[in-house]
Structure 1
Amino acid sequence: MIITGEALIGGLAVKGKGGSFNAFDPSKREELQPAFHMVDVSQINEACTLAGAAFDAFRATSDAQRADFLEAIGAQIMALGDTLIERAMAESGLPRVRLEGERGRTVNQLKLFADLLREGSWRDNRIDSALPERTPPRPDLRMRLIPVGPVAVFAASNFPLAFSVAGGDTASALAAGCPVVLKAHSAHPGTSELVARAIVKAVELCRLPVGVFALLTGTGNGIGQTLVAHPSIQAVGFTGSRSGGTALMAVAAARPQPIPVYAEMSSINPVYLLPQALAARGDEIAKGFAASLTMGVGQFCTNPGLVLGLAGDAFDRFAKVAAEALAPVQGATMLTPGISGSYQRGVAALAGQECVRTLAKGEQEEGKGAPALFQTTAASFLAERALHEEVFGPASLLVACADVAEMAAITERLEGQLTATLQLDEGDFDAAQKLLPVLERKVGRILANGFPTGVEVSTAMVHGGPFPATADGRSTSVGTGAITRFLRPVCYQNLAQALLPESLRDGNPLDIWRRRDGALGKA
């Protein structure tokens, strides 16, 4: 498949009317061909209008039809072969093995949503039978979840496949029955075009309306703001910076009809070194922490950017071993010049704090990110708000606390987080019990004796958290629960059987799980 630098609107490749830009190879530090053409306002409006026109026909498709569509997308992505992997390597600087794994994750999550659709309970069908003899009588009430409408999706920079064009936001929206208008990330436009063409091919093979999917190309904030403001768009999926996410939230809130924005933005993912675990296996934890911190040059939203432990010999030993483990790690190419520049400014800001001690800091070369490890006291962390800010890359801050109560006090002051990790042994259970109520209010995922990098795509996964980890802490962007972001409930009262959706008719013609008069079953 050839990359042309075009957008994809209405099932056709179209040349953007708003100027051009080139992809950039961060490893070779050179521009890539071809040039990509930026869409203008008229083309954004066309894509959104087509998505609105396609909505009713797309949501009327059966669960089986949409499941087949998702699997067809996966098959078309795999058919791209090395063309996709090699372009993604050039645009991201990521190694082949990482990108092949990410491609597998992308295809597997499409299959996971296909399985969810075929199982059928995702609509949360409920039936309350009529009680005409009751005083007052109860009408026949039936409820299901329906798709909200076309969704604007913004591809992420740090996962050019799994959180990008056919990533979790797109997969869950399409599974729900929502057309997707996708803004490609300017860091990997060629990769995006290849995957988008695979989706368009699947749309064609499955005989779906052409407005079910569109790819918009370009740079700057204008495209995204115009997209979110369009009246056809009914929800937004975003993974990126806090400033970018809050800007889109402001646009969505200012519309005549405000819409929800599901934005994953900022998290420092605290790790708690509880005393018994630290004393028993501090060296092992330190080495595992160093490996987690530097994985993928620290460019994961779940990177462990904060470590809390009790001041003393065991914590000092942990700091020493962690610093020694990081010392030989060379700076590696980051995804974009912008990300590397932001990382290096963040490292310099931490190093410049009087209350912060530098434990390890590699040479920061242009375009690269070298590990950095810092330490401060609990009092300083509580007093200096700047120490709470995310530094996106392989940097972390150790905080020495007087006791578990001080750990809890720091946790109370933290913003919302994607994850929190407890390194603990059985003797730490009492301390963990003191932290857990606070952590449940602050984070979306609580881990024990592991590290937060690595997010399983499954039915029970939560990849979300209170603001600013995500815009809406009631949701997840990973796993089958992600579909609920793009659904809303509708109740049918005393509607004739012939007019009811099949999933709510008597006799359960689809043979799916439903809740009838409070009891879950297939009756």
Structure 2
Amino acid sequence: MLTGKHLIAGEWVGGAETFTNEPVSGAPDIFAAGTPEHVARAAQAAEEAFWSFGYSSRAERAAFLRRIADEIEARGAEITAQGEKETGLPAARLEGERGRTTGQLRLFADHIEKGDYLDRRHDPALPDRKPLPRPDLRLMQRPVGPVAVFGASNFPLAFSTAGGDTASALAAGCPVVVKGHPAHPGVSDLVAQAIDAARRACGLHPGVFSQIHGQSHEVGQALVQHPLIKAVGFTGSLAGGRALFDLCAARPEPIPFYGELGSVNPVFILDHALARRGGEIAEGWAASLTLGAGQFCTNPGIVILREGPEAEAFMEAARAALAAVGVQTMLTSAIAAAFARGRERLAAGTGVRELLTSVCDRRGAAPSVYVTTGAEWLANAELGEEVFGPLGLIVLVRDAEERLAVARAFQGQLTCTLQMEPEDTAEAQALMPILERKAGRVLANGFPTGVEVADAMVHGGPYPASTNFGHTSVGTLAIRRWLRPVCYQNMPEDLLPEDLRGI
């Protein structure tokens, strides 16, 4: 059952102010609205918890992560039902996302048990070195302290309360304070119950995890500005993320803000691939573009291909495939309204023509696709801005040279994709240095939706795809965001962290 309350230091806390969710069907649920006072209490508890949790063993944290996964699975049916009610996502999608969430918790548990993430190094003393001796030097990664995490609207499980940011921070040894997303507070409530049950079963300090609900920007601002918070994880809009990033940078003690802010994920269809399998690529693109109503940060929003008969055939195949997709329910009415505004902005652009569009209702969206030329795209930076939802833009270039110019003009992306045949290798080789500077993940002959949770995955990229191009929010490298290197010089063995002893 829902508590409708915040979880702060092991207690379920209400408040004078409340808000409701926006269910697709059924009666709304009521939730307590957070305040800066709630934030202060949670941050203080997290700081107190750090003195034990930050120095816990890898085995203890791994056991905690695995127990969270078990507790989430024990509540699986209830979480799915609440997710369907709040988000409109189908049960199969929610169940798959739950599996991804529990899978990454267990992956992080396995990873920290191995210890490689600590990057332990030892330079033994050289007392006889001339002209100066060298001291004994040892290095390892240590947790930074309490971390703030913002839940994402489009992933109520995998990028929210117990999602990748929370799981990786806990794996690193950092207590977490979550700002739950108001699009799915009920799901967040149920997952917080699972985390608290795991925390109690493992006998950990109650401040190791807290969650605060709320719709106002005030709570988020208070969270990133609280002096006890040492880093922030965020998945959301460019405008919201940039505002929080600026607040983090303006603090008396600036802190890192790891924001994943979105992307248009361009797909470059090279000439031989277009001629040989343009229809197949069009159908694959249509499926990827409309997956989950296009509400993925890896949605392939822009396709670049050479003008000509093959391009015309591709566009007709894409139009037919997309026309068969009906209206899909979006996560919130606000997201649906933003999609409608973005579509109108794109349609009004100079040199843009409509290939497919439709009328959307208050919370629904159907695919829309527009076409422009490479010259128009290069002249109008707004055409490269993300529209969150099932909207695509086809950019027709004159030749390989203009395709390279279009590639260079893109801002930072989460992904870039090449559709190619072996005969396209020379042009692909010319594109690769550009694409790997633009994106954190470069794909060949696939589509970017579907982010594998694995050691080698990178989900991040140059700004504005993310605010820190050196890190990822998916995969085991995500743990490194919440760590900092510490060097121990001539330190007695008994004073070293246990993981450095004997190395």
Counterpart of 2:210 in structure 1: which amino acid? A
- For 1:421, what is the secondary structure of its paired residue? strand
The Cα shift of 1:267 comes to 0.4
Matched, 1:168 2:164: yes
Distance in 2 (CA, whole Å) between partners of 1:330 and 1:500 is: 61
Matched, 1:303 2:311: no
Residue 37 of structure 2 corresponds to 42
**1:116-136 per-position Cα deviation (integer Å, ceiling 9, x unaligned):** 011111100000111111112
The Cα shift of 1:408 comes to 1.6
Residue 10 of structure 2 corresponds to 11
The Cα shift of 1:39 comes to 1.9
- For 2:28, what is the secondary structure of its paired residue? strand
Is the Cα contact below 8 Å between 1:411 and 1:439 reproduced in 2?
Answer: yes
Say which is worse superposed, 401-410 or 336-345, in terms of deviation: 401-410
- For 2:153, what is the secondary structure of its paired residue? coil
- For 1:272, what is the secondary structure of its paired residue? strand
Which of 122, 126, 129 is 1:127 aligned to? 122
Residue 192 of structure 1 corresponds to 188
The Cα shift of 1:16 comes to 2.6
Counterpart of 1:128 in structure 2: which amino acid? D
Residue 113 of structure 1 corresponds to 108
Matched, 1:482 2:457: no
**1:247-274 per-position Cα deviation (integer Å, ceiling 9, x unaligned):** 1111101111000000011200000000
Residue 68 of structure 1 corresponds to 63
Residue 97 of structure 1 corresponds to 92
Residue 179 of structure 2 corresponds to 183
Structure 1 unaligned blocks of 5 or more = 509-523
Matched, 1:342 2:338: yes
Which of 267, 280, 283 is 1:284 aligned to? 280
Which of 296, 312, 315 is 1:316 aligned to? 312
Distance in 1 (CA, whole Å) between partners of 2:412 and 2:160 is: 24
- For 1:61, what is the secondary structure of its paired residue? coil
Matched, 1:147 2:143: yes
**1:162-181 per-position Cα deviation (integer Å, ceiling 9, x unaligned):** 11100000000000000000
- For 2:491, what is the secondary structure of its paired residue? coil
Distance in 2 (CA, whole Å) between partners of 1:407 and 1:378 is: 8
Report the TM-score, using the length of structure 2 for normalisation: 0.99
Is the Cα contact below 8 Å between 1:22 and 1:31 reproduced in 2?
Answer: no
Structure 2 unaligned blocks of 5 or more = none
Q: How does 1:161-310 map to 2 (within 5 A)?
A: 161-310=157-306
- For 1:483, what is the secondary structure of its paired residue? helix
Which of 373, 393, 401 is 1:377 aligned to? 373
Is the Cα contact below 8 Å between 2:350 and 2:376 reproduced in 1?
Answer: no
The Cα shift of 1:31 comes to 4.9
Is the Cα contact below 8 Å between 1:16 and 1:217 reproduced in 2?
Answer: no
- For 1:436, what is the secondary structure of its paired residue? helix
Distance in 2 (CA, whole Å) between partners of 1:331 and 1:483 is: 38
Counterpart of 1:476 in structure 2: which amino acid? T
Which of 74, 80, 83 is 1:79 aligned to? 74
Counterpart of 1:236 in structure 2: which amino acid? V
**1:8-37 per-position Cα deviation (integer Å, ceiling 9, x unaligned):** 0010101034x1110111x33x6512x111
The Cα shift of 1:220 comes to 1.6
Residue 521 of structure 1 corresponds to none
- For 1:32, what is the secondary structure of its paired residue? coil
- For 1:309, what is the secondary structure of its paired residue? strand
Aligned CA-pair RMSD: 0.9
Which of 396, 405, 409 is 2:392 aligned to? 396
Residue 18 of structure 2 corresponds to 20
Aligned residues: 502
State, as a whole percentage, how many aligned pairs show the same letter: 52
Distance in 1 (CA, whole Å) between partners of 2:324 and 2:62 is: 47
Report the TM-score, using the length of structure 1 for normalisation: 0.95
Distance in 1 (CA, whole Å) between partners of 2:150 and 2:31 is: 17
